Amino acid sequence: MLDLFWAEFKRSWLNLRRYPSEFVGGVITLSLFFLLLFLGAKFLAGPNANFGERTEAILVGFLLWILTLFAYGTLSFGLSEEAQTGTLEQVFLTPYGPIPLMLVRNLAGLGTQLLLLGTIALVLMFLTGTRLSFPPLVLLPIATVLLGSYGLGFAMASLALLFKRVQQLVNISQFLLIFLLQYPLEGSGWLAKLGYFVPLVPGAHLTRQMMAKEAALDWNLLGLALLNGLAYLALGIVVFSRAVQAAKRRGLLFGY
């Protein structure tokens, strides 16, 4: 399995190295997207508006959104692309089985995604004059957010496997992720309580607290975030496994 991880890692790294324009394009597009949102909000709020520490929170939310987008969309985008180009069946001929292969793919692709994210973070911090603290422990809540995102990604990949052309749905649902990442967990109302069970919410809340408000890691909340992430990952894998079975039964692995 380690060899498979290494092969997948090399594959994603080669893509990045061989097509640097895609990397640069990604940095420019996503940075511009943030700046337009940020400056647009400032313009709407008027000249006296001061975002204060909200800017940090918004930037953290945005970066986390990009990371979840990668985790969420890579699998379904990859499956659609492979069905279109005709490598999907060769991929499914692996004796490891499609689910372990896809899990390894997710993990191996994380390296290049983090590199892209880090570059965007530096560019945006420079352009907006924002400083983000990055305590190493923040990796833990981010990891729980990633687990949940992979779970949602597996669910979306199930649709890609069965219906192939789901890119529009992926694009639209990306904005649902913003809502999940900005879901307020503060307070004691039923909405806050519900948040613990909504995908990505506890981990995203913890990350925001640590990176934007320099809060210490709340280990209890991290435990809940981990449970939340694992539960949605497991759910996503179950759904994907059912989709693979249905695709094999209905002959949907080939063709686009």
Partner 1 sequence: MTAVLEATGLHKRFGKLVAVEEVSLRLAQGEVLAFLGPNGAGKTTTIKMLAGLLWPDRGQVQLMGKDPHRDPWALRHLGAVLEGNRNVYWRMTAQENLVYFGVARGLRFGEASRRAQNILEQLGLAEKSRTEVRHLSRGMQQKLSLGVALMHHPELLLLDEPTLGLDVESALRVEEMVRELAREGKAILLTTHQLEVAQRLADRVVILERGRIVLEGRTAEVLNRFAGEHYVVELETPPSPAQLAALRPLGLQGEGTAYVYQGDAEGLWQVLEGLKPLPLKKVARAEADLLEVFLKVVGRA
Q: Which residues of this chain interact with partner 1, rule CB under 8 A?
A: 3-4, 6-7, 10-11, 14-15, 18-19, 85-87, 89-97, 101, 245, 248-251, 253-254
- b/e sequence 97-130, b meaning 16+ C-beta within 10 Å: ebeebbbbbbebbbebbeebbebbbebbeeebeb
Which amino acid, 167? Answer: Q
The residue (of 162 and 217) whose beta carbon lies closer to partner 1 is 162
The residue (of 16 and 132) whose beta carbon lies closer to partner 1 is 16
Q: How far is the CB of 127 from partner 1 (least distance, A)?
A: 32
Q: How far is the CB of 3 from partner 1 (least distance, A)?
A: 4
| Number of Cβ atoms within 10 Å of the Cβ of 134 | 13
Q: How far is the CB of 86 from partner 1 (least distance, A)?
A: 4
The residue (of 12 and 182) whose beta carbon lies closer to partner 1 is 12
> CA 249, CA 246: separation in Å to the nearest integer?
5
The residue (of 82 and 218) whose beta carbon lies closer to partner 1 is 82
Give CA separation, 254 vs 80, 98, 161, 162, 216, in Å. 11, 15, 10, 10, 50
Q: How far is the CB of 10 from partner 1 (least distance, A)?
A: 8
**Helix axes of 219-250 and 98-128: crossing angle, nearest 10 degrees:** 130
Cα radius of gyration (the chain) = 19
Q: How far is the CB of 6 from partner 1 (least distance, A)?
A: 6
The residue (of 63 and 247) whose beta carbon lies closer to partner 1 is 247
